[in-house]
Structure 1
Amino acid sequence: MKYFTIAELCKSDTADQLGIDNRCKKEHVANMTALVDNVLDPLREAYGKPIRVNSGFRCPVLNKAVKGSATSDHMTGRAADITGGSPAENKKLFCLIQELGLPFDQLIDEKHFSWVHVSYRQSGNRREVKAL
């Protein structure tokens, strides 16, 4: 973990505003570390500029509050919503993940590159690419 921290992946303005305890457990830390080591850090290295995590780990209460999927990888620490600061930069991140051949389970263009969702599993990655 070179460019990202567990605290950054657990930080949530929504949780803070709603008074939701979004602390993660040990198994979530292992999943977040794998996501950072295998996808986010290599992406940041290749991108050459900071990448912000909009949403990383979400406890079930927070996931429900943001209307996340009932099976969201965010709840296990396996997913992050990231941004380079603009739709154009987010599209670059989306393409770079694929060009670099980084391992991922899902790579999603969210709302015309408002942000990019990327998830990683330590085994069984589907390499599913889609737009929502």
Structure 2
Amino acid sequence: MPRSLTEHFTLDELVASQTATRSGIDNTPGAAALRNLKSLAEVLEEVRTLLGGVSLLISSGYRSPALNAAVGGSAKSAHLLGLAADFTAPKFGTVLQTAKKIAASGIAYDQLIHEYGAWVHLGLAAPGMVPRRQNLSIFQGTGYLPGIIAKPG
């Protein structure tokens, strides 16, 4: 039985990883990350509501240090703390449309990234920190660009 964090999000989906499964990596969050995942799920509920109630397809949530290293994640990744999720909302629209809708909302996020035209990264501020509402886009060969934008060129 999936362990519910909120009405529409479970712990299982926020820790699922094909890389962890294939590589035998334990991706079990500790107590602090578990608390953060509950907060993340609550914000993802806000996103779901903003997008008209469509399902969010989570491709990455919590990453243990070993998993983060295996996928080439940043050493400072919010995924390590249970404060970030990568997702799409195909029943809402494109990744760009989804990211733009979130950026235009009042949702309290720390970082929103339109990544490679393939998924949205939503990161929260650590508990007690003020969310920066930083909006970025990244594409193959560009590095991070300011704003939620379409691929240049």
User: Deviation of residue 30 (structure 1)?
Assistant: 0.7
User: Deviation of residue 129 (structure 1)?
Assistant: 0.6
* Structure 2 residue matching 1:118: 3-state secondary structure: strand
Question: Residue in 1 aligned with 2:108?
Answer: 103
Question: Residue in 2 aligned with 1:116?
Answer: 120
Look at both structures and tell me which one has the larger radius of gyration over its CA atoms.
Answer: 2
Aligned 8 A contact 2:103 2:135 in 1: no
Unaligned runs of 5+ in 1: none
* Greater helix content: 1
* Partner residue of 1:53 out of 55, 58, 76: 58
* Structure 2 residue matching 1:54: 3-state secondary structure: strand
Aligned 8 A contact 2:37 2:83 in 1: yes
Aligned 8 A contact 2:50 2:102 in 1: no
CA RMSD of aligned residues (A): 1.4
Unaligned runs of 5+ in 2: 1-5, 139-153
User: Deviation of residue 57 (structure 1)?
Assistant: 0.2
Report % sequence identity: 36
In 2, Cα distance between equivalents of 1:50 and 1:90: 13
Q: TM-score, normalised by structure 1?
A: 0.91
Aligned 8 A contact 1:109 1:115 in 2: yes
Q: Which runs of 4+ in 1 moved over 4 A?
A: none
Q: TM-score, normalised by structure 2?
A: 0.79
Letter in 2 for 1:42: E
User: Deviation of residue 89 (structure 1)?
Assistant: 2.3
* Partner residue of 2:94 out of 85, 89, 108: 89
* Structure 1 residue matching 2:47: 3-state secondary structure: helix
Q: How many residues align?
A: 129
Q: Which has the higher contact order (CA 8 A, sep 6+)?
A: 1
